[in-house]
Structure formats: structure tokens, C-alpha cells
Amino acid sequence: MNGSHAAPARPAQSYRETYASWQADPDAYWLDIAKGIDWIKPPRQAFDAAAGIYGRWFPDATCNTCFNALDRHVRDGRGQQVALIHDSPVTGTKAKYTYAEMLDEVATLAAVLQDLGVGKGDRVLIYMPMVPEAAFAMLACARIGAVHSVVFGGFAAKELATRIDDAEPKVILSATCGIEPTRVVEYKPLLDGAIAMARHKPQACVILQRPQAEASMHAARDKNWRMLVAAAKATGRKADCVEVAATDPLYILYTSGTTGRPKGVVRDNGGHMVVLKATMDQLFDVGPGEVMFCASDVGWVVGHGYIVYAPLIQGATSVLYEGKPVGTPDPGAFWRVIAEHGVKVLFTAPTAFRAIRKEDPEGKYLAGHDLSRFRALFLAGERADPETLKWAEALLKVPVIDHWWQTESGSPIVGDPMGLGLLPIKHGSPTVPLPGWDVQCLDEGGRPVEAGKMGAIVLKLPLPPGALPTLWNDDARFREAYLTTYPGYYNTSDAGFIDEDGYVFIMGRTDDIINVAGHRLSTGGMEEVLAAHPAVAECAVVGIRDALKGEQPCGFVVLKAGVTQSPAEVERELVALVRERIGPVAAFKLAVTVNRLPKTRSGKILRATMKKIADGEDYAVPATIEDVGVLDEIGAVLKGRGLG
Ligand code: COA
Ligand code: AMP
């Protein structure tokens, strides 16, 4: 590999100067940051406005993401530094991998994939718990130019099947189980069920047997992970890095859309590396040799970016934590990890802090832990409520930095850039747009709204490097879902406002997506499951307020005439059905039978009004309502359940 591999010095500029330098010349700005990446063919052109749907980044460059995450650090003398720490309170184990060891593991696994016929552009689906092999798997795909698609372990077989059919993986990498604090989640039956359901069949499944749940293997299809890796190690077989275009896909990550069919967000190789490098320097301020602890899951975009790729591209150390903020074993778990591994920055979702605060409101579990190397807590994934923020600030005595982004953006859009000098924090706001993002607030007619007034939060095109160029195999859906409502802008489907100081406030979604414990879920998808029950005539799912998880789904159902089952029995079946079809992560525990749903005269279900009733908020009776009496009926049913 050639190209410039000397990392540029940490930015000496302030936020305002940096943002202005991006505005003045975006191409020069991104080409400068691109110098922190080792390219095979370095970019001469930053952006090609004529390519792709809204343009493509680094169209003439070639690279390899795995090389940047591992090989170059070994080459540059970082081989003995720890790259990855696996800290697993649920299994009682810990392991550390240096960059050299990790490179060895990844290059070997990449060779195993090649031997199974996986090549550049082929898809590999990864359905794994928080074990080091999950990170090895992602990097092994990157190494050989294969496109990975990681599916979160909390999804059920049907969701997995949908993703298998969309991504059409040649090989699936999985493990026999994940471990939740109260139970072992057997993945193998879910995987077998998903493959049986799916139209597309993978050529092979490579299964990591875990001692907590050994699983039987499908003779013709399943391979034993450890045996394949051991055999490759015995012969010293390793795969080299394959040259890919910067615009080639690195991964597909499925995220909830407004229907049950998830959107396959595509991430490229070159732009992704460049933007992650920028955020490590400018936002998180984590440099080579420093330790980052991102308490998310590799199944989410946060985990892709900040457990695996960004810390490694930066030459830092990443903590891969297989546990929870509470209950593994107690609400001091994060403090123990921070102290033990010398963590500089913790990144998690606000819900994790609500959970800790609920169990340890006075922060007693912090006592005795040395947090002297800890510099900041970053929160994202859902709105950070000011009470939780203030509690965390008072307890930890470091900046608590809310930042906003989406699976689609691939990296933070709005944040308080610690690496450029923190701006004053306003509780409730993730602060300011990061360089590269032109964030605006528009009314329904697409006109800018005044400072402080609510509107649709949109991003002026082109999006910066690392943001999605399209949806997998579905340019039409990409255009329709994101680009048509406000021509010239990407519609985030988040509502909020921008104040007179340019601080952005994100208040909630404008579509049918809800956020449960930092997990993005589609109410439309849940409605499809409820509607499939033979006793259900019609239904509506809304996200109602939850003190711990932010929101929880609540399904209102109207039963068909003549149904002989009791409403309670149907409700129990519906809860079980959502768990079976979507998975435990949907956290669907509340089905409520009502006589009628409130509707407008044109038949539109008044979901927002139902949400307000359930949340106990004042609501205006919509002028177009068909029958106002339904609202009182719903209120009475909810009161009977202790809600509203
Ligand atoms: N595999 C299988 N099941 C899983 C799973 C996984 N990887 N992750 C979660 N689940 C299950 C849980 O066990 C739970 O099952 P249950 O209904 O039998 O209790 C269900 O899915 C819902 O999970 P969750 O909403 O996470 O609730 P919880 O009670 O288990 O934990 C928190 C609550 C707050 C501790 C937890 O949500 C958390 O740590 N959040 C951190 C934020 C985070 O990871 N965000 C990701 C984006 S940054
Ligand atoms: P995901 O794609 O799973 O990352 O979810 C993205 C959505 O989560 C956003 O569109 C927001 O609705 C919400 N979200 C993420 N971070 C924040 C934040 N800091 N403040 C408010 N909402 C957030």
C-alpha cells in the first residue's frame, strides 16, 4: 500500500474555523482528512456530483478497510498494542488481542472465507453475539472485499429470513448462542428456522460453538468455525488485502423502515473510513493508543462504527463488552470496565444511564473505581432527557455529550466536538452540526422555519462521506424514502428545531418509527404481525412513554365480530406472536383490546392522539374526527390498565 500514512496532527482549529473551512471548500476539506487513510490509489478527486444518486465520494480511489484497521498499525510498530478487549461478565471471561494477534485471526478467517468461495462483492451475513469473532468476521469480509451484513441477535428467525432474502449471502457466520443475563439465547434454531423460511439459501454456515449451548450441525451445510480456523492456521494460510474501489460497498445494515420490510443501508469503503477518522479526531477526541468503550452491539450502526471500525482505524483500543449496564452483576459494571481498562471515552444510549440511575440513584457503585483516565461520556441513539444528562454529569464530573445520528448517516451529524474544543452544553440539544453536514429546519412547504420553531430536520445534499449512497438493490426506495419530500435535501424523518445560536434540538420522529431502549423499531412492522392474527379486525401500534426505555410499543386491537377467545387470551397470543416474528428486542408487552379505533372521517387512524391519551398528555380533538366518543372509550380502557 502506498499513499500518505502519516496521521495528520490533531486539528489545531476551533469548531467554527473547521466548519467554515469545510463550507468554503468541501472538496479540499475532505481530501485533507483523507490523508489520514492509507489508500492503495489515493484520491485525486473528492466528489463526483455526476455519479450515483446524489454524487459519490472519492470516485477514483482504491483502498482496503481492513488494511487501515489492522495491517498498517502492525507495519507502523503498533503490533504489540492491544487492539481489542473482550470483557464478558455474562461468561466470566476477559481476553485481549494485540493488533498483531488480531491481524493473524482476521487474515486466517478471511482465508477460510475464500476457501468457501467468498470473493469480492459477495455478501456474508453475520448473526453473532458480542464475541471477538464477530469483529474478526466483519474485518475478514472487509479484507477480501466481501460485503458483510450483521444482524442483531435479538431479532427472530423471520426477520433474519427477510435479511437473508434481501442480501443473498453466499456464507453465513454465526454462533450457537448469545447470553442474556437471565437466559441463554440459542441462535442455531433461529438460524436454521430462518434458512428454512428464506427463498435464498447460503452455500455454507460457519458456526462458532459456544460451551453455553453446543448445537448440532447440518452435515451438508454447516462448518465448525474453530476447526476451519485451526486447519488454516496449521497450514499458515492467510488472505491478503483485496483492492476495492472507495465506492465499493463495505457493508449492508438493515434498519427499520415504516413497513415490516427493513431498509438495507449501504456503506461504502472509502468515505466511511474518512468520516470515521474525522469523528475520532474532532468529536470523540480518541487518539492512537487511547481506549474507547462503546457499550452498544455490533448489530447496530453504533457498534459497526465505534466498537469495530473507528477505534481500529484510529489505532486505538476498543472494548467489546458482552454484558448490560445493570445486572451483570450490578449497576457498577460500566465503572468497573472504565477503571480496569483505562477507558477515555464511554459511548452508550441514554437508556443505559436511566437503567443505572434507577438501580443506583445515589451512584454508590462508583465508589472505589479509579476513573482518572475517563474524559467524557457520549450518548446517542435516542433523545437524551435532560434529567438523565444532569444526573450523569453530577455523578461522573466529566462532559456528558449528546450527539445525534442515524443508521443512514453512518456517523454523527450533530454533536459537541470535544476534539475541537467543547462548546457550551445546552441540555436537550446535541449541540451543533459537525463539519460536512448542512442541517436545516423546514416547514411542510419546504421553507426554512424561524429559529426556535419546530419543523422537519433535513440535510442539504450532497451528504458527506460515509453517508448512505443508496439502499441495497433499491435506488427507487432510497429516492422515495429520503429525497422526494424536500427536493435538494435528505429528509431525516426527525422533527425538531434550531435555536438562535445554531444549536439543533431533535424532538422525535415524524414517521412510524419508535425508539425502544435505543433500538429503532417499526410500528408498521408490528401492526403487520398483529393484523395476521385471525381474531384481529384492525389494529394500531404506537410508542408510548416509558421511564426506562424512553418508549415502549402499545398495540391497540379491535377483535373481529364472533371471536370466541377472550380478549385477554388474544392479547397474550399477540405479545407472543410479536416476540416470535420480530424478536424479543421489539419489547412488545402491551396489547390492549378496544371496541373501536379513533379515525378521521376519511378513515385515517389517529395514532398521535392515542399516544397522547396513553401518555396522559393534553390533546386537541382533531377537527376531522369521525366520532369523538371513541377517545373517551380509549382513555377509560387505558385507565383500567394503569395508563394515561
Ligand atoms: N440477543 C437476544 N436477545 C436480546 C438481545 C440479544 N443480543 N438483546 C436484547 N435481547 C432481549 C432482552 O433479553 C430482552 O428480553 P426479555 O423480553 O426476555 O427481557 C428483550 O430483548 C428486550 O431488550 P432490551 O429492550 O434491551 O431490554 P432489557 O431489559 O434487556 O435491557 C437496558 C434494558 C436498558 C439495560 C438495555 O436496553 C441496554 O443496555 N441498552 C443499552 C443501549 C444500547 O445497547 N443501545 C443500542 C444502540 S446505541
Ligand atoms: P438509528 O438509525 O437506530 O441510529 O436511529 C436513529 C434515530 O434515533 C434518529 O432518527 C432519532 O430519531 C433517534 N436519535 C438518535 N440519536 C438521537 C439523539 N441524540 N437525540 C434524539 N434522537 C436521537
| 506, 523, 549: residue to mutate for ligand 2 pocket, most atoms within 8 A of CB | 506
User: Whole-model pTM?
Assistant: 0.95
Give the three cell numbers for residue 443. 416547514
pLDDT number for residue 644: 82
Give the closest ligand to the alpha carbon of residue 348.
1
Residue nearest to atom 40 of ligand 1 (CA): 352
Atom of ligand 1 nearest to the CA of 183: 13
Domains in the chain: ranges and CATH: 13-496 (3.40.50.12780), 517-640 (3.30.300.30)
User: Residue 503 — pLDDT band, cuts 50, 70, 90?
Assistant: very high
Residue nearest to atom 17 of ligand 1 (CA): 584
pLDDT number for residue 360: 98
Structure confidence by residue, pLDDT tens digits, 404-461: 999 999 999 999 999 999 999 999 999 999 999 999 999 999 999 999 999 999 999 9
Give the closest ligand to the alpha carbon of residue 520.
2
User: Residue 260 — pLDDT band, cuts 50, 70, 90?
Assistant: confident
User: Residue 622 — pLDDT band, cuts 50, 70, 90?
Assistant: confident
User: Residue 13 — pLDDT band, cuts 50, 70, 90?
Assistant: confident
Residue nearest to atom 13 of ligand 2 (CA): 382
Give the three cell numbers for residue 222. 454447516
* Whether the predicted pLDDT of 2 surpasses 80: no
Is residue 464 within 8 Å of residue 273, measured between CB atoms? no
Average pLDDT over residues 539-558: 96
| 347, 411, 520, 522: residue to mutate for ligand 2 pocket, most atoms within 8 A of CB | 520
pLDDT number for residue 12: 67
Provide the pairing of β-strand 123-127 with 147-150: parallel
Atom of ligand 1 nearest to the CA of 185: 2
pLDDT number for residue 5: 38
Amino acid identity of residue 327, one-letter, is G
Average pLDDT over residues 137-160: 97
Atom of ligand 2 nearest to the CA of 496: 21
Ligand 1 pocket residue status of 302, Cβ below 6 Å: yes
User: Residue 6 — pLDDT band, cuts 50, 70, 90?
Assistant: very low
Give the closest ligand to the alpha carbon of residue 303.
1
Structure confidence by residue, pLDDT tens digits, 549-571: 999 999 999 999 999 999 999 99
Residue nearest to atom 13 of ligand 1 (CA): 180
| 405, 437, 458, 468: residue to mutate for ligand 2 pocket, most atoms within 8 A of CB | 405
Atom of ligand 2 nearest to the CA of 300: 3
Phi, psi for residue 84 in degrees, rounded to 5: -135, 135
Provide the pairing of β-strand 317-321 with 82-88: parallel
DSSP-based three-state secondary structure for 370: coil
Structure confidence by residue, pLDDT tens digits, 56-73: 999 999 999 999 999 999
Ligand 2 pocket residue status of 388, Cβ below 6 Å: no
- Average pLDDT over the chain, rounded to an integer: 96
DSSP state of 544: E
Structure confidence by residue, pLDDT tens digits, 306-342: 999 999 999 999 999 999 999 999 999 999 999 999 9
DSSP labels, 153-210: TTS-HHHHHHHHHHH--SEEEEESEEEETTEEEEHHHHHHHHHHH-SS--SEEEEE-B
